[in-house]
């Protein structure tokens, strides 16, 4: 990641109430700065998804998406009779206006600094991020589609910051829907459709052992649930006398 200071140089903040007008403009490129597992469950209409797995991949995506290296090469074409100022102006006209957003706004400060350092002139980002937008903008006026992944016990939120329907896969920490949990790859505390194929059987067995320990300790569920367990069959089989004496 280039060493740019998000404090010294950032894009222009846009309030949630002004955001719809900006991203509805067809000349504005709307970019979701979050990672793929976040964008999968919700994003703004017209948003471009970089499909990154980590923020460190974002700079190279920007270069590729906007062909910045090709634009820079156009500044000094062989045999050009245009002045440098004319070449720069022509190149800048090919760089679009950008509106970006993330969960709470922090990643956008870094991302907008990056774009400004690469020659973008019009860079905007959503003040307070998606969470502020969902808090302030009524659902019937919203351009948001889906739910917003959050890094706390709620897992996802909807308009009004109401807890959403997604749960968490404890194998990969990605959000999963009810449909995902009906898939054959889903195993509670072990794997889901998004990580099952990438995990070895040894990794899965370690996860199963960990889950059995959680159940013995009375820890079942987790950030998305917090339910207390009933006695497991294994515990009953190992302690039949204790179980019978407690009845």
Active site residue 195: no
DSSP 191: B
Q: What is the dihedral of CA 78, 84, 85, 86, to 10 degrees?
A: -20
Cα separation, 190 vs 197, whole angstroms: 12
Alpha helices in 52-136 (DSSP H): 58-66, 68-73, 84-92, 106-117, 129-136
Non-local CB neighbours of 200 within 8 Å, separated by 6+ positions? none
Token pair for 14? 């846009």
In 3D, which of 230, 14, 6, 246 has the Cα closest to residue 129?
14
Q: Which of 102, 108, 148, 196 is catalytic?
A: 102
For residue 126, which phi and psi values (nearest 5 degrees)? -70, 115
Catalytic residues: 102
């Amino acid at each position: 990641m280039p060493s740019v200071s998000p404090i010294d140089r950032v894009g222009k903040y846009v309030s949630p109430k002004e955001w719809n007008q900006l991203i509805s403009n067809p000349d504005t490129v709307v970019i979701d700065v979050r990672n793929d597992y976040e964008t999968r469950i919700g994003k703004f209409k017209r948003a471009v998804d970089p499909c990154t797995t980590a923020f460190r991949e974002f700079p190279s995506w920007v270069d590729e998406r906007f062909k910045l290296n090709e634009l820079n090469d156009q500044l000094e074409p062989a045999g050009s009779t245009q002045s440098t100022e004319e070449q720069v102006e022509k190149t800048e006209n090919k760089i679009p206006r950008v509106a970006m957003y993330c969960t709470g706004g922090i990643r956008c400060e870094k991302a907008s600094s990056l774009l400004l350092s690469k020659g973008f002139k019009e860079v905007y980002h959503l003040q307070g991020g998606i969470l502020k937008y969902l808090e302030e903008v009524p659902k019937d006026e919203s351009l948001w589609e889906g739910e917003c992944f959050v890094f706390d016990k709620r897992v996802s939120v909807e308009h009004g910051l109401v807890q959403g329907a997604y749960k968490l896969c404890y194998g990969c920490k990605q959000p999963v829907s009810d449909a995902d949990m009906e898939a054959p790859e889903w195993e509670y505390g072990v794997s889901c459709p998004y990580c099952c194929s990438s995990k070895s059987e040894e990794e899965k067995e370690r996860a199963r052992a960990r889950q059995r320990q959680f159940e013995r300790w009375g820890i079942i569920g987790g950030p998305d649930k917090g339910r207390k367990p009933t006695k497991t069959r294994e515990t009953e089989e190992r302690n039949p006398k204790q179980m019978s004496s407690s009845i």
